[in-house]
Protein backbone atom coordinates (compact mmCIF):
# COMPACT_ATOMS: atom_id res chain seq x y z
CA UNK A 1 0.00 0.00 0.00
CA UNK A 2 1.25 3.51 -0.65
CA UNK A 3 1.22 6.59 1.54
CA UNK A 4 -2.09 8.42 1.53
CA UNK A 5 -1.93 12.21 1.39
CA UNK A 6 -4.52 13.78 3.67
CA UNK A 7 -6.46 17.00 3.37
CA UNK A 8 -9.06 18.54 5.63
CA UNK A 9 -11.64 17.06 3.23
CA UNK A 10 -10.60 13.41 3.65
CA UNK A 11 -9.02 13.41 7.14
CA UNK A 12 -12.14 12.33 9.08
CA UNK A 13 -13.01 9.56 6.62
CA UNK A 14 -9.47 8.19 6.28
CA UNK A 15 -8.26 8.61 9.88
CA UNK A 16 -11.05 9.04 12.41
CA UNK A 17 -13.42 6.54 10.74
CA UNK A 18 -10.68 3.98 10.02
CA UNK A 19 -11.10 0.42 11.33
CA UNK A 20 -7.29 -0.04 11.40
CA UNK A 21 -4.62 2.03 13.18
CA UNK A 22 -3.49 5.09 11.23
CA UNK A 23 -0.04 6.70 11.34
CA UNK A 24 -0.13 10.36 10.31
CA UNK A 25 3.12 12.14 9.46
CA UNK A 26 2.77 15.93 9.72
CA UNK A 27 5.58 17.28 7.52
CA UNK A 28 6.69 20.09 5.16
CA UNK A 29 8.81 20.12 2.01
CA UNK A 30 11.36 22.55 3.52
CA UNK A 31 11.93 20.46 6.68
CA UNK A 32 15.23 18.55 6.75
CA UNK A 33 14.25 15.89 9.32
CA UNK A 34 10.97 15.39 7.41
CA UNK A 35 12.99 14.64 4.27
CA UNK A 36 15.09 12.16 6.26
CA UNK A 37 12.13 10.11 7.48
CA UNK A 38 10.12 10.43 4.24
CA UNK A 39 11.68 7.32 2.65
CA UNK A 40 11.21 5.41 5.93
CA UNK A 41 7.51 6.31 5.98
CA UNK A 42 7.21 5.14 2.34
CA UNK A 43 9.00 1.88 3.19
CA UNK A 44 6.69 1.19 6.14
CA UNK A 45 3.64 1.88 3.95
CA UNK A 46 4.87 -0.73 1.45
CA UNK A 47 5.54 -3.34 4.14
CA UNK A 48 2.65 -3.29 6.58
CA UNK A 49 -0.88 -4.39 5.82
CA UNK A 50 -2.64 -3.94 9.16
CA UNK A 51 -2.41 -0.13 9.39
CA UNK A 52 -2.83 2.92 7.17
CA UNK A 53 0.11 5.30 6.60
CA UNK A 54 -0.72 8.93 5.83
CA UNK A 55 0.99 12.31 5.47
CA UNK A 56 -0.24 15.84 6.05
CA UNK A 57 1.65 18.72 4.42
CA UNK A 58 1.37 21.39 7.13
CA UNK A 59 1.87 24.18 4.58
CA UNK A 60 -1.00 22.94 2.41
CA UNK A 61 -3.24 22.02 5.37
CA UNK A 62 -2.67 24.62 8.12
CA UNK A 63 -6.14 23.95 9.61
CA UNK A 64 -5.23 20.32 10.38
CA UNK A 65 -1.86 21.36 11.80
CA UNK A 66 -3.63 23.87 14.08
CA UNK A 67 -6.37 21.43 15.09
CA UNK A 68 -3.80 18.87 16.24
CA UNK A 69 -1.47 21.50 17.73
CA UNK A 70 1.50 20.59 15.56
CA UNK A 71 4.21 23.00 16.72
CA UNK A 72 7.28 21.20 15.40
CA UNK A 73 7.73 18.88 12.48
CA UNK A 74 7.95 16.10 11.76
CA UNK A 75 5.21 15.11 14.19
CA UNK A 76 3.98 11.54 14.00
CA UNK A 77 0.58 10.60 15.40
CA UNK A 78 -1.10 7.23 15.66
CA UNK A 79 -4.89 7.13 15.73
CA UNK A 80 -6.79 4.04 16.87
CA UNK A 81 -10.59 3.85 16.73
CA UNK A 82 -10.76 7.56 15.93
CA UNK A 83 -8.73 8.56 18.99
CA UNK A 84 -5.17 9.88 19.19
CA UNK A 85 -3.19 7.02 20.78
CA UNK A 86 0.46 8.11 20.36
CA UNK A 87 2.26 11.31 19.43
CA UNK A 88 5.98 11.84 18.85
CA UNK A 89 7.92 14.78 17.45
CA UNK A 90 11.21 14.68 15.60
CA UNK A 91 12.81 12.21 13.23
CA UNK A 92 12.42 8.60 14.35
CA UNK A 93 14.01 5.35 13.24
CA UNK A 94 11.97 2.76 11.38
CA UNK A 95 11.91 0.61 14.53
CA UNK A 96 10.60 3.49 16.64
CA UNK A 97 7.87 4.26 14.13
CA UNK A 98 6.80 0.61 13.90
CA UNK A 99 6.75 0.46 17.73
CA UNK A 100 4.32 3.42 17.77
CA UNK A 101 1.86 1.37 15.73
CA UNK A 102 1.73 -1.51 18.22
Catalytic residue IDs:
31, 34
Q: How far apart are CA 78 and CA 51, in angstroms?
A: 10
- Contact present, 33 and 90 (Cβ < 8 Å): yes
Of 61, 56, 48, give the one whose Cα is nearest residue 21.
Answer: 48
Integer Cα distance of 46 and 19 in angstroms:
19
Among 75, 5, 68, 9, which residue's Cα sits nearest to residue 37?
75
Amino acid sequence: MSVLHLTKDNFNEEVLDSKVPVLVDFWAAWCGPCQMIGPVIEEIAEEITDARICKVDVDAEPELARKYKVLSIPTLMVFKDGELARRESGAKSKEEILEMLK
